[in-house]
Structure 1
Amino acid sequence: MIKNKPIKITLFAVAVLLIIFQALVIGVAAPKEYQLIYDWIFYGINFVIIAFLFFLLHSKNQFMKWMQWGFGLALLVANTTFFYHMGDVNMVVSKSEDGQHEVILKEYKKMKDETVRLKRRGFIFGKQTAALTGSSTYKTIEENSFKINWISGDTAIVTYQASEKGALQQRIFSFRSSDYVSYQQVAVSLTGKWLEQENSQNYLMYDAGEMVFAKDGELYYYKAHDTEQQGIFSLVIKSDEKKPSFTVVLNSDCIFGDDGLIMDGGTITIAQVSFDDIENKVYFKE
């Protein structure tokens, strides 16, 4: 097919390099839990390799020619089938306002895998660091039932629905560097009364495992079992439909004292667990 020798050598070298790349993806990256962020790259390279080999390994023998056609067709069908089932993904890349941080969510449309969060490694690779619990059957991104909310420039709150009629869930991803150890207790650090900056009638109060949230003239009470700490800078407060669910994020100005409490001058942000466009509110300690 291709008679020009330099071109043929060049194409053959490119094909070899692509095959080596695919081998590294499967044999080196995958065992270390790295994956291509965009799966179409892998299958696209396969299509290119198949095309290159078809043109480069052309034989004049009729039998060998038919063998090449059959083998090439089999590879083409196999790659297309895998691409249809495993390469069809939904991707979300959300960046912080300053562009310094990003959240990558990846969802397989036709597979019963949970939607995962990838941490970028290099330009096209990512490593799975978390999964959205319950998203294996209900495709959150496909149904557009999610929201990503950036707080304090270094914390992303992912609100999502894990089933058609299920309650909203949240995952918090913090990019803030810290020397603190993992056993810092966010709930305990909130001990005291916190007032909303724009309306001091709204407040959050915590003491000995009990929490009171005052919002628009209503009082809501929570126990320790209603809270879930995620990382060392955020606390998710879950409840039923009768009480609001919300997330408390310690802002970057928060410093833990020796007693485990937030020192004076620190502020927190409260974000409602909702798909509605509700403004986050900043609170300061009384």
Structure 2
Amino acid sequence: MKSKISTAVSQIPLSGIREMWKRAAQYENVISLGIGEPDFNTPKEICQQALQDALQGATHYTQSQGDPELLKAIQMYLYGRLGEDFSIPQIVVTTGGVGGLTSFFRTVLNPGDEVIIPEPYFPPYRHHIEWVGAKAVLLQTRFENGFVPTPEALEAAITQHSKVLLLNSPNNPTGAIIPAETLDSIAHIVLERDLLVLSDEVYERLLFDGRTHESIRTRPGMKERTVVVHSFSKSFAMTGWRIGYAFGPEWLIESMIKVVSS
């Protein structure tokens, strides 16, 4: 019966992380450097509010874009974090951060399009790109450069089929943060080559040693071509809740909502 499985899915290997979990379970006192999971539970205040809302009947379908109250809360959160007044049509709630990634890919990619991804990268990126018939173009980074993609390497990776640059900063798995001056150069190339940007910023609040994070969408000309993916999983220790959101230009989010609702 395995022949009934689609070719696209059959060609995707099982997650290496899951395989390592199985092996690690055979040993004691194993230190996990695997999945991005906070070492504490979801704060009680969040759990209590969710329970209260559920008991009061907030258990039904919401609009496709997301629950209006949640959308408003995200809007206020983004204003507090970024100092920018987003409109509600610029935001969409997704099933975790991965839901934002897949919705974006299904919205913008056609068969044969190319997505440039700096290595090392979060493994599901490639799978979701290939599922829609597009191609992942891997951009090598080097230890001596802090695993940060260089503008020169990016320029060399672009072809006539390039459509999207996927950035993940802070990076999973390396923790690398793209410096401000590198973001400037990358943004210049993106504008010059007319690319879209998907910026996975799920780890944007996990910063140490006084380091700061900047989004590429803050660069001139980038807001109209960048979608940012966030998740409640890391920032609020809500990995099991599977709640994420994406924000960006209204023209693009509007089409992502079509995908989310389908």
Q: TM-score range by the shorter chain?
A: under 0.3
**TM-score where L is the length of structure 1:** 0.25
Q: Higher Cα Rg: structure 1 or 2?
A: 1
**Larger RCO, structure (CA 8 Å, separation 6 or more):** 2
TM-score (norm: length of structure 2): 0.27
The structure with the greater share of residues assigned to helix is: 2
